[in-house]
Amino acid sequence: MLSRDKRVAWGHRYRQRRVDGEPGWAGDDSYRRKQTQIEEALQGRILPASARFLELGCGAGNITLWMAEQGYEAYGIDIIPEAIEWARERLRNAPVTADFRVGDISDMSGFPDDFFDIVFDADCFHMIIGPGRFRCFSEVRRVLRSGGVFIRGQNVRDSRINHRVDFAQGAAYFEPHSRCIFIEGRQEYLLLSEPELIEEVINAGFEVARVVHRPPEGRKPFLSGWIDVYATTTD
């Protein structure tokens, strides 16, 4: 699912941010945005006591541990070992319990069917490029119980942009035909338009309950905004 080059590059980023005293893969503003996503998605929903929560691409475990503090049975999965090592270190110093696992979300066979009440996409799906995305959606659908909540969000592209856009002093660029952001020559992130994002969620077997529009993260000209899709599963 993920090339060796990407795993090495992302592992290095985690190590560096840890050394630099950063909170995780992203900054505090990003984690506050994630908390808002979850709070809005769960507002008014009746969930069982100690409902099970899964964070896809949990990184250093910030949101998983926050959900554990809210009383949820919290799990986090990430394909980068350095991320899970960091999350487990945080857990040892936390007053809560959580379960952190190194794993690929295209094969979550370690979790039973209908196991989770909430699955949260922590900026994970936009890093998955290629046909493997369908397997990832299928696995999310499998582990999420009927009536459970899937929280999916990401920056969306401006579909009017039809030319390459360089940024980060030329070290990165957006290429509209592949719909990808490239960093140091690697395809790093897939940017969908709003209709593409919603269609993908529906085609994966989910029912879209609500769509929330937010300003984009960053000021790049090829971004039109941030979209949160709150979806549910049914039998």
Helix or strand or coil: residue 153?
strand
Tell me the sheet residues that pair with 46.
Answer: none
**Confidence grade of residue 218 (pLDDT, cut at 50, 70, 90):** confident
Distances (CA, A) of 12 to 1, 5, 49, 53, 93: 19, 11, 39, 28, 24
**Confidence grade of residue 1 (pLDDT, cut at 50, 70, 90):** low
**Confidence grade of residue 207 (pLDDT, cut at 50, 70, 90):** very high
CB atoms within 10 A of CB 219: 8
pTM: 0.95
pLDDT in tens, 122-162: 999 999 998 889 999 999 999 999 999 999 999 999 999 99
Helix or strand or coil: residue 144?
strand
Residue 87 parent element (H or E): helix 81-92
> Which one has a higher pLDDT value, 151 or 169?
151
Helix or strand or coil: residue 5?
helix
**Confidence grade of residue 2 (pLDDT, cut at 50, 70, 90):** confident
In degrees and rounded to multiples of 5, residue 214 shows phi and psi of -135, 165
Tell me the sheet residues that pair with 73.
Answer: 52
pLDDT at 4: 85
What is the set of domains in the chain, with CATH numbers? 4-232 (3.40.50.150)
Residue 199 has pLDDT above 90, yes or no: yes
Whether residue 197 contacts residue 150, with contact meaning beta carbons closer than 8 Å, is answered with: no
pLDDT at 50: 83
